[in-house]
């Protein structure tokens, strides 16, 4: 019979397993900091949730409905201690596009938005349970950057008419700009004054007091100005009635066929929201030494969206800006998120009347100020600067593959729309990757007389090329897409040098496929026909496995050259 203390230990382990990862090891000493951080997040979340609901084309209160349940479910299922989830600009804009395309079902926009959140949640949950978190790797950071910048510009174009008090135009970015240019000559001056002052105040406060809840302060100031100056009577549009109380719980009243119409858009939103949230989670995990589980993040995002949909809400995802506020305010666990959720419930029960006199121009200013932070021009400059002269000489325009993919995603969003823009960016990224992989750098090597190392002669021209031989290095994998190019280039280099021995230094060849194996055999035959021999040195891993135990394989370049010289009688 085992001692009772073992049973107690197993019980403690079982109890620990029931605690969400985001709350394990929690200490009471952290409570004060987490509660204060949660209150700070709430001050940012409420006005932004109302604003992002407007982007999604649903009543403002829908953004508030989505937040509490999403924050709760993420705290229970997610893996990040500091990530804040809620309505966000990019996914709200995607939601508007997807819901607009499904409007033919006859259901209202609010019901379809909730159904879209449910579908997005179901897809993310399934992907997490199937351990598909690795799919996030297919959206590169440059593509996501271009996509987010495109979304930000589109959102700004859509909000500018509200800021200056004119009718906005339908369509994509350039159509909206054209409509704005035509209408901007005759703005509604009171609205422009309110919106301009609100935007200037937001930008100034965020610059001078980055942790201060500038959005809430400006929103309250706008509400106060409406009450004191009767701005609504002067023609300044206001949010209007926000129903008090908690939302109705349960699936939205939409026909089952609507979910089929929403499925493709939900998959796109799940992918975009997951990638954006994962980036925010990893950013702050790196600062605190925590780890982020990609599959659990999918489950957390799925649970958050499903809960938002069942609470008459809209799609949600991880927010970099609100997570930054959370971390800067001292959050150490998801207790801060739970605090923000509780305060949002209090807002729904008792404070919605406060926001009814909020000017639409102030709301537009909140949105514009939030998304301006996403327009990262410096990131594009950095991507441009990553291509050195040597890379451009080897790969041509593809040396700036990341920049091209980011610009493709950006222009795709502006011209084709959100989902198509994202897909265009991903396609451009993969095509450019394949193009670069099909054109590996093939460097001639020389021997450093001091160290004996074999290095690229173009980088170290003082090194000594092998006499009567050619030593080359292929900087990349050997596979079907580059086999012909590698063979012809090595043959041309051997003829140019008049080499009797060609040594392929395979240290930088991480893999080969069947096509490349046949290519190497053919290269050896063609070299023999021209009076030369082929040797492979320093083959590793998969290369050795596929080439097998055959002649012409050597542990290093010097051994390969020595054996070749011995066979020719030069030693």
Residue-wise pLDDT tens digits, 559-571: 988 887 776 655 4
- 212 CB burial (10 A radius; 0-12, 13-18, 19+): middle
Tens of pLDDT, residues 269-313: 998 888 778 877 876 776 677 788 889 999 999 999 999 999 999
- What pLDDT score was predicted for residue 154? 84
Helix (H, G, I), strand (E, B) or coil at 392: helix
Nearest-angstrom CA–CA distance, 216 and 45: 9
Strand 464-465 relative to strand 454-456, pairing: unpaired
In degrees, rounded to 5, the angle at the alpha carbon of residue 360 between the alpha carbons of residues 225 and 362 is 55
Tell me the longest C-alpha to C-alpha distance in the chain.
102
The answer to whether the beta carbons of residues 23 and 334 sit under 8 Å apart is yes
Residue 469, strand partner residues: 501
- What pLDDT score was predicted for residue 1? 42
**Percentage of the chain with pLDDT > 90?**
32
Topology of domain 441-568, per CATH?
Answer: Transcription Regulator spoIIAA (3.30.750)
The answer to whether the beta carbons of residues 215 and 73 sit under 8 Å apart is no
Task: Indicate the pTM of the whole model.
Answer: 0.73
DSSP run (H or E) holding 475: strand 469-475
Helix (H, G, I), strand (E, B) or coil at 106: coil
Nearest-angstrom CA–CA distance, 270 and 118: 11
Instruction: List where CATH 3.30.750.24 sits in the chain.
Output: 441-568
How confident is the model over 61-70, as a mean pLDDT? 95
Band the pLDDT of 2: cuts 50, 70, 90.
very low
Band the pLDDT of 106: cuts 50, 70, 90.
low
Q: Tell me the backbone φ, ψ of residue 148, rounded to 5 degrees.
A: -65, -40
Band the pLDDT of 384: cuts 50, 70, 90.
confident
């Amino acid at each position: 019979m085992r001692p009772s203390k073992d049973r107690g230990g197993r019980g403690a382990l079982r109890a620990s397993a029931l605690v969400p990862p985001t709350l394990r090891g929690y200490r009471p000493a952290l409570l004060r900091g987490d509660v204060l951080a949660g209150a700070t997040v709430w001050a940012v979340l409420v006005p932004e949730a109302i604003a992002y609901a407007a982007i999604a084309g649903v009543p403002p209160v829908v953004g508030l409905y989505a937040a509490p349940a999403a924050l709760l479910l993420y705290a229970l299922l997610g893996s990040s201690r500091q990530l804040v989830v809620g309505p966000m600009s990019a996914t709200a804009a995607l939601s508007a596009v997807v819901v607009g395309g499904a409007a033919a079902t006859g259901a209202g926009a609010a019901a379809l938005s909730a159904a879209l959140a449910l579908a997005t949640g179901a897809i993310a949950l399934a992907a997490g349970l199937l351990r598909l978190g690795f799919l996030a790797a297919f959206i590169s950071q440059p593509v996501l950057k271009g996509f987010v910048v495109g979304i930000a510009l589109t959102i700004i174009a859509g909000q500018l008419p509200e800021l200056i008090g004119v009718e906005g135009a339908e369509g994509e970015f350039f159509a909206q700009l054209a409509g704005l240019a035509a209408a901007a000559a005759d703005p509604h001056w009171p609205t422009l004054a309110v919106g301009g002052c609100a935007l200037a105040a937001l930008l100034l406060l965020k610059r001078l007091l980055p942790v201060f809840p500038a959005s809430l302060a400006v929103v309250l100031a706008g509400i106060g100005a409406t009450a004191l100056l009767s701005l609504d009577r002067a023609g300044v549009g206001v949010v209007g009635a926000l129903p008090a109380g908690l939302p109705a719980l349960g699936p939205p009243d939409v026909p089952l066929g609507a979910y089929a119409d929403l499925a493709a858009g939900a998959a796109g939103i799940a992918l975009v929201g997951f990638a954006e949230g994962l980036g925010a989670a990893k950013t702050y995990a790196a600062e605190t030494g925590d780890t982020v589980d990609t599959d659990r993040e999918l489950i957390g995002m799925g649970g958050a969206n499903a809960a938002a949909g069942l609470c008459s809400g809209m799609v949600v995802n991880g927010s970099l800006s609100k997570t930054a506020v959370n971390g800067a305010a001292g959050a150490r666990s998801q207790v801060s998120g739970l605090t923000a959720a509780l305060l949002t419930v209090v807002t729904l029960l008792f404070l919605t009347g406060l926001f009814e006199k909020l000017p639409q121009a102030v709301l537009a200013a909140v949105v514009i100020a939030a998304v301006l932070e996403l327009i990262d021009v410096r990131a594009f400059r950095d991507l441009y600067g990553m291509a050195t002269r040597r890379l451009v000489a080897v790969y041509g325009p593809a040396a700036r593959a990341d920049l091209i993919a980011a610009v493709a995603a950006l222009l795709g969003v502006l011209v084709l729309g959100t989902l198509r823009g994202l897909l265009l960016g991903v396609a451009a990224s993969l095509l450019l990757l394949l193009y670069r992989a099909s054109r590996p750098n093939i460097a001639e090597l020389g021997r450093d007389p001091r160290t004996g190392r074999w290095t690229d002669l173009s980088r170290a021209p003082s090194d000594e090329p092998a006499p009567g031989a050619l030593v080359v290095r292929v900087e990349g994998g050997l596979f079907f897409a580059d086999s012909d190019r590698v063979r012809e280039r090595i043959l041309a280099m051997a003829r140019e040098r008049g080499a009797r021995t060609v040594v392929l230094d395979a240290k930088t060849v991480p893999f080969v496929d069947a096509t490349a194996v046949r290519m190497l055999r053919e290269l050896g035959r063609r070299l023999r026909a021209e009076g030369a021999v082929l040797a492979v040195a320093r083959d590793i891993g998969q290369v050795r496995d596929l080439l097998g135990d055959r002649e012409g394989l050597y542990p290093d370049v010097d051994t390969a050259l020595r054996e070749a010289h011995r066979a020719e009688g030069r030693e």
